[in-house]
Amino acid sequence: MSLTCIVVSTIVMILLAGILGGGINCLQARKADDPVPKSIGYYFLLSIAAAFSVPLFLSLTKSELLQNVLSTTPPLKTEDWFILFAVCLVAAIYAQTFLETISKNLLQRVQGAEDSSQKALHIAQAVGEQSLNASEDTVAKERFAKARAATASLSAAADPEKQKVLDALKNPKYRLGRRTLAGIISETGLSRQTVSDILAKLIVEDTVQKETGEISEMDYYVLSPPA
């Protein structure tokens, strides 16, 4: 049997299961004495829709039933056809509940896929930021090393307070060379006003540069790299 014939036969079988399920739903509604009876078309359309949702259900459950039915490799598996018809009929009889269950399952999977995609995106961004930060740190370390070498002979013997500030800025303990005002004050033991005035003079002399952290938004002071 060709694939086209199998597909057409499968569609017809699903349609028949949906129609039969719709008829059963009509009988059940009349037997239950529904105070607000719905039209016959409602039950048939709902049942047919549920029957045609069975392939999606089989896909979500990773069942090979539909694949076996659509197989063109002999011998024909008659049992699988009966099983598929029975599944479609049950789905058609319990159409509303079946469709709600399928919808919830599908939405959960879509949400799960979206969450996984967002998580992967965040991981990729984090990796990218780490790489960028590592690159920036390397550049900062190289710049600090050059600045320390360039200012190694720089002396402020006539101004010991200024020398203390320069020594704090050249402290090799801080590999990136970035010092906060509070850190310099703590290391030098000078007053805040004194350190601020000395840093202002060094900035004017182009010996020191003032930078603002992108994340912390704090002010940092670094030795100016050699021209």
Report which of 7, 11, 13, 3 is spatially closest to residue 72, judged by C-alpha positions.
Answer: 3
pLDDT for residue 148: 58
* 8 A C-beta contact, residue 1 and residue 69: no
Count of residues in the chain: 227
pLDDT for residue 66: 82
In the structure encoding, which two tokens stand for residue 84, read together? Answer: 């598929």
Is the pTM value of this prediction over 0.85? no
Q: What is the mean pLDDT of each run of 10 residues along the chain (227 residues)?
A: 83 91 81 59 88 87 83 77 90 87 80 68 55 54 61 59 87 78 89 91 87 76 77
Position 178: which residue type?
R
User: For residue 169, how far is the Cα from the chain centroid?
Assistant: 41
Placement of tokens 């004495």 in the chain: 33
Distance, in Å, from the CA atom of 109 to the CA atom of 26, rounded to the nearest integer, reads 33
Assign 3-state DSSP to the chain and report helix, strand, coil percentages, each to 5.
Answer: 70, 5, 25
In the structure encoding, which two tokens stand for residue 218, read together? Answer: 């704090």
CB atoms within 10 A of CB 40: 13
